[in-house]
Amino acid sequence: MFLFQPCCCKHAAEDETAKAITNEEWEPVTGTLAEEAETDLKAPKPEPAAPAAVAALEAAAANEDAVKAKPSGQPEPRSSKATAAPKLDGGKPSPGGMMPGKREVACDVFTVELTRPSRDIPYGIVFDRADRRILEIIEVDSTNPNSVAAAYNKTVDPSRQLLPGRFVMAVNGHAGDAKRLDQIWNAQLRVRCEVCQPREFAIQLDKSVEGAKLGVDIDRSDKGISITVREIASGLIEDWNKAHPDLAVEQCDRIVAVNGRRGSANDMVAALKAASSKLELVIARPDWDVLGP
């Protein structure tokens, strides 16, 4: 069973790394952002992992394959979502963090188990926890193929790999507090995670209309690769939602591309502010149902 632990305001104020931009700060296009938070994402680069970690992981994978061996023609087991999850607070915001409502979203959710021989061996993943609820993978240690995560990725299909842009929704039965998830990840020798490949869809906006505003408040981390939608106010996105209810942008969605540009959240924010005509935004939505009804 997941143990839901809501984040407190102190964590949000002192420990989180999000920078907020309100709807009023999007215009005018020129100028600087007003009174952004001073904290930046300071996730350390993963240190090289010992080959022993790779050997242990590969041995575990081989043993698991042997256990799961079955006669040909029998269908492969389907990955499933968590069978038990906490009941969240009715879709209301929790202190210091946002709470999305229950949504019908077709996402791919799968379980990953990683093991390391000691805490001196890092798993080899950098997370963004800007929305204070879940962990977004922003980097896998690709420079060192001996990292635990890199070794795991070699043993599975790409659809089950740990990749930037995917979300860790729960760790060892805990969910709902990104700081707590990060602590468990760093402290444990074995982690069992629910990982989500988010649904993506595109929306088209036109900023050439006089006085047009996006109408969103956002959070993002300096080293992040997505922009979190905090609130939606009057503006282009609200107008889009009314015209396209099946592709409506919602609170806690992520903007992951702006006019074809992906990667740095800061670059995407700059592109949003500078745009004066057509805008195409790619929106990513995690499967919040993993956290419970």
Read off the pTM.
Answer: 0.68
Q: What are the E-state strand segments in the chain?
A: 3-4, 19-21, 108-115, 125-128, 135-140, 167-171, 174-175, 190-197, 199-206, 216-220, 227-232, 254-258, 278-285
What is the distance in angstroms between the CA of the first residue and the CA of the last residue of the chain? 13
Please give the pLDDT value at position 193: 95
Distances (CA, A) of 111 to 156, 169, 186: 12, 10, 18
The domain defined by 51-68+76-197 carries CATH number 2.60.40.1080? no
> How confident is the model at residue 19, as a pLDDT?
60
CA 266 to chain centre: 16
User: Which H or E run contains 215?
Assistant: none
Q: Do domains 20-30+200-291 and 51-68+76-197 have the same CATH topology?
A: yes
Instruction: Give CA–CA dist 207/51, Å, rounded.
Output: 52
Residues 217, 220, 226, 230, CA torsion sign: negative
At 228-245, the pLDDT tens digits run 999 999 999 999 999 999
User: Scanning the structure block, which residue is given the tokens 């215009």?
Assistant: 27
Residue 287 near residue 109, CB atoms below 8 Å: yes
Q: What are phi and psi of 154, to 5 degrees?
A: -70, -20
DSSP character at residue 49: P
Calpha distance 212→55 (Å, rounded): 57
CA dist., res. 195 & res. 193, Å (int): 6
Q: What are phi and psi of 114, to 5 degrees?
A: -125, 145
Distance, CA of 224 to CA of 137 (rounded, Å): 9
| Radius of gyration of the chain, Cα coordinates, nearest whole angstrom | 20
Q: Which CATH number fits domain 20-30+200-291: 1.10.357.10, 2.30.42.10, 3.30.700.30, 3.40.50.150?
A: 2.30.42.10
Sorted by where each begins, the domain ranges of the chain are: 20-30+200-291, 51-68+76-197
Mean pLDDT on 250-261: 93
Structure-block tokens of residue 259 = 């006019």
- With beta carbons less than 8 A apart as the criterion, state whether 37 and 20 touch: yes
Mean pLDDT (whole number) for 116-129: 91
Higher-confidence residue of 208 and 39: namely: 208
Residue listed under structure tokens 């680069």? 45
pLDDT at 245: 94
pLDDT at 275: 87
Q: Which two tokens stand for residue 5?
A: 């632990």
Check: CB of residue 199 under 8 Å from CB of residue 288. Answer: no
| Chain segment 143-199, per-residue pLDDT in tens | 876 789 999 999 999 999 999 999 999 999 999 999 999 999 999 999 999 999 998
Alpha-carbon distances, residue 192 vs 2, 165, 222 (angstroms): 11, 19, 28
Strand ranges of the sheet holding 199-206, from the earlier edge strand across to the other edge: 19-21, 216-220, 227-232, 254-258, 278-285, 199-206
**What pLDDT score does 178 carry?**
93
- Half-sphere CA count of 271, side-chain side, radius 13 A: 20
Residue 31 in this model has a pLDDT that exceeds 50:
no
